[in-house]
Amino acid sequence: MQLYNTLSAKEREQLIEEAGKDRLTISFYKYAHIGNPEILRNHLFIAWNEMDVLGRIYVAYEGVNAQLSVPAENFETFKTHLDSITFLENVRLNIAVEQDNKSFLKLKVKVRNKIVADGLNDDTFDVTDKGVHVGAERFNELIEDPDTVLVDMRNHYESEIGHFKNAVTPDVDTFRDSLDIIEEDLKEHKEDKKLVMYCTGGIRCEKASAYYKHKGFKNVFQLEGGIIEYTRQVKAEGLENKFLGKNFVFDHRRGERISEDVISSCHQCGKPCDTHVNCANEACHLLFIQCEDCAKAMDNCCSTECQDVHALPYEEQKRLRKGKHASNKIFKKGRSEVLKYKK
């Protein structure tokens, strides 16, 4: 039985172009107690492959996390299938603010230990015992309350290009880094402050809300559906938008514009810019912010060293990077010393 991709990204891209049909970029998550993630993983792959679903889906004992793209004509079939799975019935689907038919080019359904890595090893922590979900209107009210502490549960490279007004934006590389830092900073306010959290689509702040309740915080709230759903509600209900800049997203688009504010700078020249790119040198692949002028001058690279490598014949590039591993643990997404204007 085929439970893996048979087409390359380039082959899939060509098929999408030839089909000429609109696709919807969607994300959803659900925390639940799953007995056998492997069986669910196989079931999802078989069913969704038939519907031409593409994306990145994680299945774990604690639930499901999915970012995917589905042909618009297959959306109802996809939704019906979700509803046939008991714990996913009527799950909230976050429809992307900006659509791109090529947001995903492969279907990857993977079993993970957790759908959000948290570094925790505490059997008494119940991730389903979450905080209070609030919609955009109530969220706007809460963050104007002087007794509220608003916390961005995303990483530094996400909040750098966009965040809510007056939010605390921890300078962290991973979600797990933020948990202890925030608890330590707010430990004196477990009783008297309202702790309000947000993230991209809700999955990280939902786990964080359960964690901080577990740690004794009394008034814990999260923005339901995250920035994506907030933006939809603001537009649909004519509410004031309190988000500045872009929402970082984890697909080929790398960002959705929420407001016209540009709150970050090109990491190479310092001019206002909020466009994330990956270094064109595949041995590096550093994620950083680069303006159009620098992209042209640097051949889409982060440094002159990478520029020199990128100019070599492809086979020579492959030979140079053979046996080397360039991970996020090395490059820290934008923290490289080659970037003069990094945050």
For 19, residues 6+ apart whose C-beta sits below 8 A from its C-beta are 71
Catalytic residue, from 199, 284, 291, 294: name it.
Answer: 199
Contact 34, 61 (CB under 8 A): yes
Establish whether 199 is a catalytic residue: yes
**Catalytic residue list:** 199
